[in-house]
Amino acid sequence: MNDWESYLGSFDGEPGYLDWASFGPLSPNVRAEVHADAELLGSGRRSSIELVGEHVRESRELLARVLRTDAEQVVLQPSTTYGLMQAVYGLAGGLIVSRGEFPSLTVAATRAADALGSIEVQWIEPDGGFVTPDAVREALTDDTRAVAVSLVDFRTGYRADLTALREVIGDRLLIVDAIQGFGVIEADWEAADVVCGNGYKWLRAGRGTGFASFSERAMERIAPVLSGFAGVEGDLPLDAVPQPAPTAEAFRVAGEDALAFARLATSLRDILDVGVSTIESELVARSGDVMYFADRYEIPVVTPREPERRAGIVALAPAPQDAAPLAASLANHGLTVTVRSGLLRVAPHVGTGADTMRLFGDALAAFSSARVW
């Protein structure tokens, strides 16, 4: 069995799960690592504690490989939101954010503006919620210092073009919430100045596995406002307050949960073994399968059709009177999806098998046959 077959075989859950954009059930390797490390930490031996603690360093190095950067530019965080807050609170000047972004961005931007007064939130409302290069270009002003965007939009599944956004904004900072695409699609990470993510969705590593990377430009322009005692270089002196570290470590608050990052390191090794580009190819195909069934039963899709503009999320937009019956049909057929604001978010993974897709097709067929035109 090759690495790819092993990776596909690791999706061992029951058929019907189409909600990977909400939570990724832990992989077998991650579950095994949790049990092994818990036993080590239960021993009380310093060598065992230090062995588990090595996963913190390993996670940073593996993240740097995926992000194509240096480990010193990566910092571990409890969640995506922590990383975004570190970036946003340290800004000065205008920050472009779509009102339709996930609240991790909109709330952080609003709170930072209200509390510090150092940033001005420049809200945009692009067509369809798609933060396109043209939408950003139209919103730029002389006061704009940064743009914050999701790599993959949580509502619509739209995949941002980081390369084009970089060309549009020039020397301004580009802050990316990457949670809905990191590790499963290739992206131009070098175009971004700050990349924040978490391993509890597509990486199947569980919560508490967040991270952020900061480019040299970001570290020059973003003040480590929320830097804690762990955000210093070297040993912490007890009778003085040192300056923040000159690396991304400045954006740490406290020590990391080694068990959480043992999970993250395990999941990162798994995806690096098979390659992100291989995962992306299969994931885009799976989202295409969802679109095929939606088209077959005439259910509108708002997610872009172009493979390069989507990842694993497909958003269905039934007529208002059809949303509840469609959601009920999916649930009655044993399918798990997210229903929010009239949209049904269907999110397969590469290990989503033919049995799940058959259930999905059956659920849509049942809904269609009972639909009143």
Q: What is the pLDDT of residues 309-367, one digit of tens each?
A: 999 999 999 999 999 999 999 999 999 999 998 999 999 999 999 999 999 999 999 99
Do 149 and 169 contact (CB within 8 A), yes or no? no
Closest CA to 265 of 82, 44, 74, 85: 74
pLDDT of residue 19: 98
Residue-by-residue DSSP string for 301-351: B-S-SSGGG--S-EEE---HHHHHHHHHHHHHTT-B-EEETTEEEEB--TT
Kindly report the average pLDDT of the chain as a whole number. 96
The model carries a pTM of 0.96
pLDDT of residue 61: 98
Q: Would you call 220 exposed, middle or buried from its count of C-beta atoms within 10 A (0-12, 13-18, 19+)?
A: exposed
Structure tokens given for 232: 């210093």
pLDDT of residue 238: 82
Q: What is the pLDDT of residues 207-250, one digit of tens each?
A: 999 999 999 999 999 999 999 999 998 887 788 899 999 999 99
pLDDT of residue 313: 98
Q: How many CB atoms lie within 10 A of CB 246?
A: 10
**The sheet that has 119-124: what strands, in order across it?**
74-77, 210-214, 194-198, 173-177, 144-150, 93-98, 119-124
Q: For CATH 3.40.640.10, list the domain ranges present in the chain.
A: 29-273
Do 222 and 90 contact (CB within 8 A), yes or no? yes
Q: What is the pLDDT of residues 142-153, one digit of tens each?
A: 999 999 999 999
Give the CATH fold of the 3-25+276-370 domain: Aspartate Aminotransferase, domain 1 (3.90.1150)
Closest CA to 6 of 354, 358, 350, 356: 350
Q: For CATH 3.90.1150.10, list the domain ranges present in the chain.
A: 3-25+276-370
Q: What is the pLDDT of residues 275-299, one digit of tens each?
A: 999 999 999 999 999 999 999 999 9
Give every CB contact of residue 19 below 8 A, 6+ residues apart in sequence.
336, 337, 338, 345, 347
Q: What is the pLDDT of residues 117-140, one digit of tens each?
A: 999 999 999 999 999 999 999 999
pLDDT of residue 291: 98
**The sheet that has 338-340: what strands, in order across it?**
314-316, 343-346, 338-340
pLDDT of residue 35: 96
Report the DSSP pairing between strands 194-198 and 210-214.
Answer: antiparallel
**29-273: which CATH number, 3.40.640.10, 3.30.420.10, 3.30.450.40, 3.40.50.1110?**
3.40.640.10
